Chains A and B, each alone.
Chain A
Amino acid sequence: MQVTMTVNGEEVTKEIEGRLLLVHFIRDHLGLTGTHWGCDTSNCGTCVVLMDDEPVKSCTVLAAMAGGRQVRTVEGLEVDGVLDPVQEGFMQCHGLQCGFCTPGMMLTARALLDDNPDPTEHEIREAISGQICRCTGYSTIVRSVQWAANAESESPVTVGGAS
């Protein structure tokens, strides 16, 4: 069957099998390997992408189900060489160690901040609660999202200013 969707702003059309999962479509058919593939059971959340601006676990969505929809992957966060504040925050606050969970974490953070520009720590933790960091670096992930929220409200926190 043929599927057409918009990925990071560009329309793509491919011939696929109906059973192809979105995560494999993104990685293997489009070559966008920033989206990671982890537990395959919708638990770990490393495969999170945005579909029509909502975070979804792409291991549990068929590529066919994304037909006609807008998909945004980690590659779509940077625009014209400018990093998204979420990406900047993860750099500034050491929001990653091994990096495996990072793409999913950043996309969930992007969706959270689009919905709620000034989230509390609890709201950030709740938003990423379906995603697992194997390095257990949650504190710095939360701080990274807070950094992005502050940057977007144009009152950046002091970099590395954890007391």
Chain B
Amino acid sequence: MQVPAPFEYERATSVDHAIALLERLGSEARLVAGGHSLLPMMKLRFATPEYLIDINDLHDELGYIRVEGDEFRIGAMTRHRELLESDELAAAFPIFRDAEKVIADPVVRNRGTLGGSLCQADPAEDLSAVCTTLDASCVIRSSDGERVLTMHEFHRGPYETAVEDAQMLTEIRIPIRPNGSSAYEKVERRAGDWAIVSAGAAVWMDGETISDARVGLAAVGPNTTGIGAISEALRGQVPTEELYATAGGLAAEASRPSADSRGTEAYKRHLADELTRRALRRSVARITGTNGQEA
């Protein structure tokens, strides 16, 4: 039987209350949202917090998807199911629905949250790759106020983020840019599993040419990797199979996968290449209204 080590359970009634509890209880306190990352870690005793602060009652305050000005704002307690079902989000960023369809299973998606996924910072976690691809920023709140970090600043390494003691991730902001689309491609051993490799792409076009593009990969190294070289190679170019191949090659080159039961290093590099091509192709097809199949 897997049972977490003993801890004191507290329940927060507001964001301010959660932060006050974190301040009072110190560095041995952890927030639990959906619990589908943290509780398994606690059951394996990889995580042994002395205090657990349940923030599920904050769903009313932090569970939202809304447009403000030129960005989407998504509350950290927004659950996977809500991200999957949001037509507004899917219309602006199809990558979210692509990814959510292949994250765990419907029952797990009833519980897991956007904020919890990002804060777990698992290198194979899909929403970190999605947020990296979309150039999202993360709002971290403490009693001193808020700071807004890029995904690059937020994600410090495997299982490590910029959220310090007595701070909490409250919101994700995603810039809305015209003439763009996005896609997510994942290969997994079985439905609902962690990625062997996955790739997100976002493309913006100006007429026939790509004005900007971003690619974010998961499970190919210690960090969810956004690859700047791909953006540089794609900007100003007309999308062709050759261009996707160049981008795929750069993705494989930038990957630093480790061999494990999910596959060899070479196989994962191959996937990084192929999935990058597919995600770019599908993003462009979504803009131009073509079918997105390989030519």
Chain A positions within 8 Å of B, measured between CB atoms, are 1, 17-19, 21, 24, 40-42, 45, 48, 54-57, 60-62, 64-65, 67, 108, 126-127, 129-131
Kindly state the separation between the CA atoms of A60 and B111 in the bound complex, as whole angstroms: 10
- Distance of B188 from chain A, by nearest CB (Å): 13
Does B108 count as interface, using CB distance less than 8 angstroms? yes
Nearest opposing residue in chain B for A104, CB measure: B107
Q: Are A18 and B108 in contact (CB under 8 A)?
A: no
Q: Are B9 and A130 in contact (CB under 8 A)?
A: no
Pick the contact of B35 from A18, A60, A67 — CB < 8 Å? A60
Does B40 count as interface, using CB distance less than 8 angstroms? yes
- Distance of B244 from chain A, by nearest CB (Å): 30
Chain B window 56-89, contacts with chain A (Cβ cutoff 8 Å), 1 for yes, 0 for no = 1000000000000000000000000000000000
Q: Are B2 and A130 in contact (CB under 8 A)?
A: no
> Which residue of B7, B8, B9 has the most chain A CB atoms within 10 A of its CB atom?
B9
Interface residues on B, range: 20 to 34
- Distance of B11 from chain A, by nearest CB (Å): 7
Kindly state the separation between the CA atoms of A57 and B5 in the bound complex, as whole angstroms: 20
Q: Are B11 and A42 in contact (CB under 8 A)?
A: no
Q: Are B36 and A60 in contact (CB under 8 A)?
A: yes
- Distance of B197 from chain A, by nearest CB (Å): 21
Pick the contact of A65 from B4, B40, B43, B56 — CB < 8 Å? B56
Does B143 count as interface, using CB distance less than 8 angstroms? no
Does B229 count as interface, using CB distance less than 8 angstroms? no
Which residues on the A side are within 8 Å of B108 (C-beta)? 42, 57, 60, 130
Q: Are A19 and B56 in contact (CB under 8 A)?
A: no
Q: Are A54 and B35 in contact (CB under 8 A)?
A: no
Chain B window 140-177, contacts with chain A (Cβ cutoff 8 Å), 1 for yes, 0 for no = 00000000000000000000000000000000000000
Does B191 count as interface, using CB distance less than 8 angstroms? yes
Kindly state the separation between the CA atoms of A54 and B80 in the bound complex, as whole angstroms: 13
Does B1 count as interface, using CB distance less than 8 angstroms? yes
17 CB < 8 A contacts A-B: A17-B6, A18-B9, A19-B4, A21-B3, A21-B39, A40-B43, A41-B43, A42-B108, A45-B107, A55-B107, A57-B107, A62-B9, A62-B52, A65-B32, A65-B56, A130-B192, A131-B107
